[in-house]
Amino acid sequence: MSRESHPDDITWLLDRGDVVGANEQLTHRQAWGSSDPRERVMWARLMLLRGRHDAAANTLEQARQLDPTCDAVYEVYAQLCLVTGRVQEAMSWFDHAYAHADPASSWILVWADLLIQQGDLTRAIAVADRYCCSAPASDYEGWFWLGYALHLANRLPEARDAYLRCERIKPSYPQLRNNLSALHLQQEDYNAAQFYAKEALAEDPNNASAWSLLGSSHLKRAELDAAECALERALVLAPHDARSLQAYSYICKERQRWSQAMELIEQANRLKPQDGSIQWSIAMLQLLQGQYEQGWRNHEARWRAGAEQADEYPNLPIPAWQNESLANKTLFVWGEQGHGDVLQFARFIPELAGRIHEQGGRLVYCVYPPLLSLIERSVGPYVDALLPSTMPMLPECDYQAPLASLPLALNIGVQDLPGAVAYLKADPRKVERWRQRMPANNKLKVGLVWSGSRAHQRNRFRSVSLEILERTLVNVNQVEFFSLQVGASEELAWLQSIGMPIHDHTESFESFDDTAAYIENLDLVVTVCTSIAHLAGGMGVPTWILLDASPHWVWMIDREDSPWYPSARLYRQPTFGQWEPTLQRVARDLTRQAALKQAPGMKVSNMDRNE
């Protein structure tokens, strides 16, 4: 190569890492002493590639003095800082370079990647978006990085669009199909998630991430055997991949292999100790097994378990309460997660209020509007103010705490439960109005819920199909069912069409206060794991709870009672997906309870069932 080689040719050599060729050309040009700052920058790049960091730094400083607006100086300064482990300095130098650079400079994507690694997704998105707007139409990398930043920011539809722009230009771009699979998994489009994972595997059968994503999508579709095969293959290829270990732990939970599930998730935690979702998974297993002391501590990781959970944490201008003294202070407690969680944890408000008032402080409690009347009657007398979550202005408070953090603050163990057995109180006037509308017969009146919220990620696992109800509960003698399943008119019409004796008044339910009054007129409630289980249990009403093989932590394992709700009886799936044997036991026990109600002087009980 001649001494007169174009600078672009030398840049090409440096980009390829050809230090011999670049050294020959730059030496011929005497680039170290050139009056052109860009030639000095190329010499600095060569020094950086050869590990001569001091020489690189000196040359860059000389180039900067020649032209303070030369973006390449700051870019290579940033690269030097990265190589020497000075990440924050690198961020600063990239920022300097960006002020003078062409927005489609290739190094900008390196900076976008660094911004993503540092958690500055807002800036990464802005930088990558500007790059995409300025780059040639044939450029695909910018779309990938924009999609990735949007993906991590949980802006999934926009991320998908950016990924697809990349796919149209470069279908085989590394990691693209994996990312599309992961995105569709988050969007609960499991067919698309499997499609992209299989596309990635067709290209590379040893793609461990693709096997992991395929396994996770099979798990979401309740295809446990396929999920286990895929995840075992993923772990053969990448035995130290924390995400695959976590997913396999979920499978072990569904298989009721609790010890193995804990071993796997703890192994994942050792690999990624700062990962909130892994720590939260540990909490779920600990609480499920009654290890409340450790479980409550790890439960605090829920706000770091993913973008969806983080978005639920309100941006309150009040410091979090860390068990400081509340003398002459006001604590603001706010409801979190679902309605069932609020109903479950509301039991701790009276004890907390007592402690605060002993110290001379105040307690303000904020709840979701559909629960306001019920909570006001049940625990309102204990608090200084009860407010709806839709309040336009935050009251003046000194500290704030999410409701589900109270067990940690109060040091609650299994032995401290249940507290008050019937701590949720229905409105007596509404109870009476519903009593007058109930059928005047002596049949067993049973409230029924067969599905939780359709939006819940595990609703497919915890819900009972109408076909199972048809085969097990339609012909139970001396029993009348009363739907507590809101928004299920079509399903109810089908159940009634096959002869199931089920009443539906749910259109009259305006809040949980109405539901509570209705439940007070029933003999018992049969429900899957959803808010009605916590409502009926919190009222002290006999409640039979249908649990899938891997239940919510509150129901624990290997027991038919609940320390949280003494009036509850737990009906567990014997193995994954097996609802019919569970509902057959329920049908037999309903028959016995109906016969008891017919007997003079007898009432519905939660006596041990005979298998």
Q: Which of 219, 154, 409 is nearest to 299 (CA)?
A: 409
Quick check: helix, strand or coil at residue 569? strand
pLDDT at 600: 67
Indicate where the chain has its CATH 3.40.50.2000 domain(s).
428-598
pLDDT at 3: 45
The answer on pLDDT for 607 being more than 50 is no
Average pLDDT over residues 524-528: 98
Average pLDDT over residues 232-242: 98
- The amino acid that residue 11 corresponds to is T
User: Fold for domain 7-242?
Assistant: 1.25.40
pLDDT at 224: 96
For the ranges 29-38, 111-120, 147-156, the lowest mean pLDDT is seen at 29-38
Q: Indicate the pLDDT class of residue 602, thresholds 50, 70 and 90.
A: low
With contact defined as beta carbons under 8 Å apart, do 469 and 590 qualify? no
Burial 71-106 (b: 16+ CB within 10 A, else e): bbbbbbbbbbbbeeeeeeebbebbebbbebbeebbe
Supply the pTM of this predicted model.
0.85
With contact defined as beta carbons under 8 Å apart, do 535 and 269 qualify? no
Q: Which stretches of 300-384 are DSSP H helices?
A: 307-312, 339-345, 349-359, 372-379
How confident is the model over 123-135, as pLDDT tens digits? 999 999 999 999 8
> In the chain, what percentage of residues exceed pLDDT 70?
96
Cα 306 to Cα 44: distance, rounded to the nearest angstrom? 41
Q: What string of DSSP letters covers 499-521?
A: T--EEE-GGG--SHHHHHHHHTT
The three-state DSSP-derived secondary structure of 3-71 is CCCCHHHHHHHHHHCCHHHHHHHHHHHCHHHCCCHHHHHHHHHHHHHCCCHHHHHHHHHHHHHHCCCCH
Q: Indicate the pLDDT class of residue 611, thresholds 50, 70 and 90.
A: very low
Cα 260 to Cα 536: distance, rounded to the nearest angstrom? 34
Higher pLDDT residue, 310 or 528? 528
Indicate where the chain has its CATH 1.25.40.10 domain(s).
7-242
pLDDT at 608: 42
Structural class in CATH, domain 428-598: alpha beta
Structure token digits, residue 396: 């003046």
For the ranges 102-111, 171-180, 226-235, the lowest mean pLDDT is seen at 102-111
How many other C-beta atoms are found inside a 10 Å radius of the C-beta of residue 37? 21
Burial 364-386 (b: 16+ CB within 10 A, else e): bbbbbebbbbbbbbbbbebbeeb
Cα 570 to Cα 79: distance, rounded to the nearest angstrom? 60
Average pLDDT over residues 44-56: 84
pLDDT at 396: 92
Average pLDDT over residues 164-185: 95
With contact defined as beta carbons under 8 Å apart, do 543 and 536 qualify? yes
pLDDT at 311: 66
How confident is the model over 340-378, as pLDDT tens digits? 999 999 999 999 999 999 999 999 999 999 999 999 999
pLDDT at 308: 62
Cα 435 to Cα 422: distance, rounded to the nearest angstrom? 20
Write down the mean pLDDT value for the chain: 91
Cα–chain-centroid distance for residue 35? 57
| Cβ-proximal residues to 586 (8 Å cutoff; 6+ apart), any chain | 472, 473, 526, 544, 546, 571
The answer on pLDDT for 410 being more than 80 is yes
Structure token digits, residue 169: 């230009």
pLDDT at 307: 63
Cα 39 to Cα 31: distance, rounded to the nearest angstrom? 5
Phi and psi at 261, nearest 5°, equal -60, -40
CATH of domain 330-412: 3.40.50
Structure token digits, residue 533: 């289980």
The answer on pLDDT for 314 being more than 60 is yes
Q: What string of DSSP letters covers 235-295?
A: HHH-TT-HHHHHHHHHHHHHTT-HHHHHHHHHHHHHH-TT-HHHHHHHHHHHHHTT-HHHH
How many other C-beta atoms are found inside a 10 Å radius of the C-beta of residue 157? 9
With contact defined as beta carbons under 8 Å apart, do 206 and 184 qualify? no
Cα 290 to Cα 261: distance, rounded to the nearest angstrom? 15
The answer on pLDDT for 458 being more than 50 is yes
The answer on pLDDT for 610 being more than 60 is no
pLDDT at 2: 41
| Cβ-proximal residues to 158 (8 Å cutoff; 6+ apart), any chain | 150
The answer on pLDDT for 316 being more than 60 is yes
With contact defined as beta carbons under 8 Å apart, do 169 and 138 qualify? yes
pLDDT at 7: 66
Q: Indicate the pLDDT class of residue 604, thresholds 50, 70 and 90.
A: low
The residue assigned the tokens 């008044």 is 505
pLDDT at 435: 96
Cα 509 to Cα 275: distance, rounded to the nearest angstrom? 41
With contact defined as beta carbons under 8 Å apart, do 354 and 362 qualify? no
Rg (CA), the chain: 31
Average pLDDT over residues 247-275: 97
